[in-house]
Amino acid sequence: MKRVITYGTFDLFHIGHLNLLERLAELGDHLTVAVSTDEFNLGKGKVCSMPYDERSRIVGALRCVDRVIQEESWDQKPRDVQELGIDVFGIGDDWQGKFDHLAQYCEVVYLTRTHGISTTSLKLDIAMNADARK
């Protein structure tokens, strides 16, 4: 069995998230998704629109996702890869080169993101629409 893992916040779930997760699932037989906890996001200076429990539940409900775990720190990735028997670490290409150190444990793949959509752009659009209604 070929095991794949990815990490992310998955706030305001959108088609770009789905496209990425489906493509990652195609790289193996089992996809584990580590969803960033609220506490970890706060440490990164991020505030999520949805709490961890809701974000992880949405991700876990997808047919292409086999398992959801918590992402609690930057340094847990090598441990997860080894303990879970991961063969492929995959993530969006905006992280290109940032996780090459994991290549000593598994294959590292950077996938192209869906053009024209991101959580940041969605949050900006929502804020602009809210301001326009005032």
Give the pLDDT mean for 99-110. Answer: 98
Domain boundaries, the chain: 3-133
Residue 123 annotated among the catalytic residues of the structure:
no
Euclidean distance between CA atoms 48 and 80, whole angstroms: 24
pLDDT-derived band of residue 100, with 50, 70 and 90 as boundaries?
A: very high
The H-assigned helical ranges of 1-134 are: 15-25, 38-43, 52-60, 77-83, 119-133
Euclidean distance between CA atoms 54 and 34, whole angstroms: 14
Residue 51's pLDDT is: 96
Give the pLDDT mean for 39-68. Answer: 96
- Of residues 72 and 49, more confidence is placed in 72
- Residue 86 above 90 pLDDT? yes
- Residue 118 above 80 pLDDT? no
- Residue 82 above 70 pLDDT? yes
> Annotated catalytic residue: which of 44, 77, 98, 134?
44
> Annotated catalytic residue: which of 2, 46, 77, 134?
46
Residue 98 annotated among the catalytic residues of the structure:
no
Indicate the class that CATH gives domain 3-133. alpha beta
Residue 134's pLDDT is: 67
Euclidean distance between CA atoms 59 and 71, whole angstroms: 13
- Residue 130 above 70 pLDDT? no
pTM of the model: 0.89
